Amino acid sequence: MVQIKLQLIENLSLVSKTWVNWLNDKKINEFSDKSFKKHTINSQLKFVKNKLKLKSCKIYAIFFRKKHIGCVELSNISTTHKTVEVKILIGEENLYRKGIGSQVLKKIKKIVFEDLKMNKLKSSVVSGNIKSINFFLKNGFIKEAELKNEFKFDGVSYNKIYFSIFANNQA
């Protein structure tokens, strides 16, 4: 099994040129709103600084063999409704399809359901992002809804698909 570590980001020390390069990589962010703008160290420092101020957000760095390879954002954390949204970015393409994403999600489910005591973990995916759709389905998420024509990439309209998994029926 692939060994990964998640580290809660509590300051700006992990913001790096490498992280910015992941955000600017059109292939990595093919179906992401991140692909519509140019990212810089300063814009990423500002983004992380603003996220750190929010009680409804947590960002984790993903480490593999002591190397920072990506990030996880838990956002819209609602202690009232017991829900949270997850976004995962693995920036090192050579590590795709090695089970790292599934290991990250397994650790995130533990944090969300056991530590934060949430009832629902959710994510949204652009309908053209088949790899992400398959990833969430493979990891026990169910498709809850699909909104038509929510995104436009390169002149093509795509739907937004909402996936979720619940505390009482996770694997």
More confident residue, 167 or 170: 167
Q: For 88-114, how does the pLDDT look when each residue is reduced to its tens digit (9 = 90+)?
A: 998 887 778 888 999 999 999 999 999
What pLDDT score does 69 carry?
93
What pLDDT score does 169 carry?
74
pLDDT at 4 over 70: yes
In the chain, what are the domain boundaries?
Answer: 4-169
What pLDDT score does 31 carry?
67
DSSP characters for the chain?
---EEEEE--SSTT--HHHHHHHH-TTTTTTSGGGGS---HHHHHHHHHHHHT-TT-EEEEEEETTEEEEEEEEEEEETTTTEEEEEEEE--GGGTTSSHHHHHHHHHHHIIIIIS--SEEEEEEETT-HHHHHHHHHTT-EEEEEEEEEEEETTEEEEEEEEEEEGGG--
CATH of domain 4-169: 3.40.630.30
* pTM over the 0.95 mark: no
What pLDDT score does 3 carry?
85
